[in-house]
Structure 1
Amino acid sequence: MTDQPDLRHGDHRSADSSSSVVVDLKEYKQKKNPLPVTFHRRELDAILWIYGRMVGEGEWKDYAIDHMKDKAVFSVFKRSGEMPLFTIEKDPKLANKQGAYSVVNTNGMILKRGHELQQVLKVFDKVLKLVDK
């Protein structure tokens, strides 16, 4: 219902009338509920290749993928009931700054960050050894 009088057959409302605003429903929904950030197929292939290698070495046992509004996170676990050993994160807001991809350890320290996922995943190529005192 509007405060404007009814139109007679054949009459038109002017285009500049405030009540004749057309809104694209798809755009409106995307603004209200933006799609979550996800990993693309090639990104998942690279991550799962590293994951498979580390499982084969007995280092990792389980993983989880979270798609949130602001970032996507691939978490790897030694045991499923524990905190993740590492998280591989994709944050598009940082793409023009430090890089969208990062690897974070259990303590929250960023081990490597960059613009290309392949370069960031090279942090797992290093052989880490326990040093006894």
Structure 2
Amino acid sequence: MNRREARIKAFQVLFQMENHDITFEDAADFALEGAAIHEFTSELVRGVITYKDEIDKAISEQLVNWSLNRIASVERTLLRLAVYEIKYNETIPLKVSINEAVEIAKEYGEENSGKFINGVLSKIVSDE
């Protein structure tokens, strides 16, 4: 499994956890269809869970005329994932974290999801 696939699986696990109020283990079992969880996927999910309050604060500070709860689940989950990478994983270049989130948003989100994700993440990076 490459890192993009691991990110997609992390996104799917986090999405399941938030939208179905289930445990990490149950969400991982569902998203991975019983397969073993990749180390990078686990790191991303656990990181978002651990730093969720700080991540949500960083996202909320960049939203204009929006609240975090008004953002669609796909975009909110991808923003959390990317912000975790940007703020807490120094081994991943910022541009990679942003690009990966934008590309996954194009696949799983609405028509303008990629642009929205890019805009929010660019503002977060510029504040770093």
If each structure's strand is expressed as a fraction of its own residues, which one has the higher value?
A: 1
Greater relative CO (CA pairs within 8 A, separation 6+):
2
